[in-house]
């Protein structure tokens, strides 16, 4: 069997590529997906008690009109809730509004001064001209106090790697920079500073979780363009041929792969050994999602919160989403039930006791005052994916510059969250548009934007 275009992976990137090809009148393509469903890391699950869970705290906001239009088409104008973001940091037994560095007035006086001292010292000496890594960026942007109190511990919990092992190229709009004047004004006049960021307004599906979006996009494309339960065993680049685990062989003219780049290069039979070896230097972390279905109502301080960050050591999780606040349909009985969804990172540098992780999470939720007792728990959901976050390590950009062009010379284009490994453009909107832009390039030779120019793509927010 032969196709002009073969798409490996049915997550947002693969679905974006397939949708755009069909929109352009191209029907000579197939999407190969190893699971029996589409959506990838944007899939949703319903547990045995009827609670809906995402694979992490997904929210819907966008840098692209094309993406927005497709979302409306997928679920309809009335298929969404719109929420005002309420995100907080739980630290020192209190909630501090996010971004943390703009709301230091919530901290004990000693730590307010510790954070301000770091900023004052930073202003005295002036910004550094050369930053070697993300640790340097934090110190140069936030000062020693904010770094020690929040940025260092929190970022290690998220990334599962120390910040000195990461580059700072990815930061862009992802981290709020510190403005000493604004911070002091907020402290003196006791002002909350809540509006920073591209997702201060976000959408969420009324029903079915985030996975409902991508299921609907798959239906718009048509099931005849998908081959599910299809795992790639090997790729012969010279012969332009893919062999699946069941022995099926598929020939292609062009491939777009969303398989993690380190794994994909191992499947390529005739890729130079040094390129395969280079790709193995890419770093990533695993993600564990723990969903806790609860009876009753959330405590008052959680009634309107969206998600919360947890930098301290008592808890295994770095973020918790009040998932029932996103949609009442995320729980089977909204009048009497609610839900919390926790995320935990793991790497060789940050191991996790998976055996006790769910119980450790519940214990920490009680310690943090999120739930009153284990008696409230009526459902426990656990999902783990070994590829959760593509780490923007110091070596990453050099590796990508070596590996991606070699594949493209062989008519293979690696795109998406782990296909291209660029965390700074791996939200749902970015990921889908990487697929759309690949399709435009293949059919009409339109240059791609999102992957080669992430800062430009992110600057389009709000335009």
CATH classification at residue 33: 3.50.50.60
Q: How far apart are CA 262 and CA 418, in angstroms?
A: 9
In a domain, 169, yes or no: yes
**Spatial CB neighbours of 363, under 8 Å, sequence gap ≥ 6:** none
Q: Identify whether residues 172 and 212 lie together within a single domain.
A: no
Q: Identify whether residues 114 and 234 lie together within a single domain.
A: no
Measured in residues, the chain has a length of 463
What is the CA angle 29-32-34, rounded to 5?
Answer: 175
Handedness of CA 227, 230, 235, 239 (dihedral sign): negative
What is the pairing mode between strands 412-414 and 249-257?
A: parallel
In a domain, 61, yes or no: no
**Spatial CB neighbours of 249, under 8 Å, sequence gap ≥ 6:** 1, 241, 242, 243
pLDDT at 119: 92
pLDDT digits (tens, 9 = 90+) for 96-130: 999 898 999 999 999 999 999 999 998 888 777 78
In a domain, 272, yes or no: yes
The encoded tokens of residue 324 equal 């029932």
Assign 60 a pLDDT band (cuts: 50, 70, 90).
confident
pLDDT digits (tens, 9 = 90+) for 280-330: 999 999 999 999 999 999 999 999 999 999 999 999 999 999 999 999 999
pLDDT at 463: 41
- Residue ending a domain, among 160, 188, 216, is 188
Q: DSSP assignment, residue 267? A: H
Q: Identify whether residues 271 and 213 lie together within a single domain.
A: yes
Domain that holds residue 142: 99-188
In a domain, 34, yes or no: yes
Q: Which residue has the tokens 């301290």?
A: 312
- Residue ending a domain, among 132, 160, 188, is 188
Q: Identify whether residues 270 and 136 lie together within a single domain.
A: no
Q: How far apart are CA 286 and CA 396, in angstroms?
A: 17
- Residue ending a domain, among 145, 160, 188, is 188
Q: Identify whether residues 276 and 407 lie together within a single domain.
A: yes
| Helices 428-444 & 65-75 angle (0-180, nearest 10) | 110
What predicted TM-score, i.e. pTM, was given to this entire model? 0.94
pLDDT digits (tens, 9 = 90+) for 176-189: 557 788 888 888 88
In a domain, 76, yes or no: no
Q: Tell me the pLDDT of the chain averaged across its residues.
A: 94
Assign 194 a pLDDT band (cuts: 50, 70, 90).
low
Q: Identify whether residues 158 and 34 lie together within a single domain.
A: no
Q: Identify whether residues 150 and 7 lie together within a single domain.
A: no
Q: Identify whether residues 178 and 216 lie together within a single domain.
A: no
In a domain, 115, yes or no: yes
Q: Identify whether residues 212 and 184 lie together within a single domain.
A: no
Q: Identify whether residues 268 and 404 lie together within a single domain.
A: yes
**Spatial CB neighbours of 135, under 8 Å, sequence gap ≥ 6:** 152, 162, 163, 164, 166
Q: DSSP assignment, residue 60? A: B
The total of structural domains in the chain comes to 2
Q: How far apart are CA 210 and CA 206, in angstroms?
A: 9
Assign 175 a pLDDT band (cuts: 50, 70, 90).
low
pLDDT digits (tens, 9 = 90+) for 30-59: 999 999 999 999 999 999 999 999 998 888
Q: Identify whether residues 114 and 175 lie together within a single domain.
A: yes
Q: Identify whether residues 174 and 129 lie together within a single domain.
A: yes
pLDDT at 192: 80
CB 31 within 8 A of CB 10: yes
In a domain, 410, yes or no: yes
In a domain, 433, yes or no: yes
- Whether the upstream peptide bond of residue 99 has omega within 30° of 0, thus cis, is yes
Q: How far apart are CA 407 and CA 272, in angstroms?
A: 10
The β-bridge partners of 83 are: 202
């Amino acid at each position: 069997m032969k196709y002009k275009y073969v798409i490996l992976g049915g997550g947002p990137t693969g679905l974006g590529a397939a949708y755009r090809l069909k929109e352009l009148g191209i029907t000579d393509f197939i999407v190969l997906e190893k699971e029996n469903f589409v959506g990838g890391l944007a899939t949703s699950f319903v547990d045995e008690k009827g609670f809906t869970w995402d694979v992490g705290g997904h929210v819907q906001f966008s840098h692209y009109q094309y993406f927005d239009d497709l979302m409306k088409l997928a679920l309809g104008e009335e298929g969404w809730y719109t929420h005002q973001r309420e995100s907080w940091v739980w630290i020192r037994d209190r909630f501090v509004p996010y971004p943390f560095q703009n709301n230091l007035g919530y901290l004990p006086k000693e730590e307010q001064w510790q954070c301000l001292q770091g900023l004052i010292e930073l202003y005295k000496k002036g910004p550094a001209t050369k930053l070697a890594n993300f640790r340097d960026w934090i110190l140069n942007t936030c000062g020693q106090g904010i770094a020690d109190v929040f940025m260092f511990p929190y970022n290690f919990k998220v990334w599962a790697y120390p910040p000195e092992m990461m580059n700072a190229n990815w930061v862009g709009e992802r981290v709020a920079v510190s403005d000493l004047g604004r911070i002091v004004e907020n402290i003196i006049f006791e002002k909350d500073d809540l509006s920073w960021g591209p997702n201060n307004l976000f959408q969420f599906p009324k029903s079915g979780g985030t996975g409902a979006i991508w299921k609907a996009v798959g239906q718009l494309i048509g099931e005849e363009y998908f081959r599910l339960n299809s795992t790639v065993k090997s790729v012969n680049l010279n012969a332009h041929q893919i062999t699946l685990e069941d022995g099926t062989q598929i020939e292609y003219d062009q491939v777009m792969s969303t398989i993690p780049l380190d794994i994909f290069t191992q499947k390529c039979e005739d890729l130079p050994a040094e390129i395969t070896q280079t790709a193995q230097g890419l770093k990533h972390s695993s993600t564990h999602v723990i969903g806790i279905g609860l009876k009753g109502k959330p405590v008052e301080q959680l009634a309107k919160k969206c998600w919360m960050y947890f930098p301290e050591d008592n808890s295994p999780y770095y973020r918790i989403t009040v998932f029932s606040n996103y949609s009442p349909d995320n729980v089977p009985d909204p009048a009497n039930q609610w839900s919390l969804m926790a995320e935990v990172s793991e790497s060789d540098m940050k191991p996790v006791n998976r055996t006790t992780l769910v119980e450790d999470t519940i214990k920490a939720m009680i310690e943090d005052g999120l739930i009153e007792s284990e008696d409230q728990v009526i459902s426990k959901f656990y999902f783990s994916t070994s590829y959760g976050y593509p780490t923007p390590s110091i070596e990453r950009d050099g590796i990508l510059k070596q590996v991606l062009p070699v594949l493209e010379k062989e008519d293979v284009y690696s795109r998406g969250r782990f296909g291209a490994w660029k965390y700074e453009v791996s939200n749902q909107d970015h990921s889908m548009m990487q697929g759309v832009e690949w399709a435009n390039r293949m059919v009409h030779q339109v240059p791609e934007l999102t992957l080669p120019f992430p800062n430009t793509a992110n600057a389009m927010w709000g335009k």
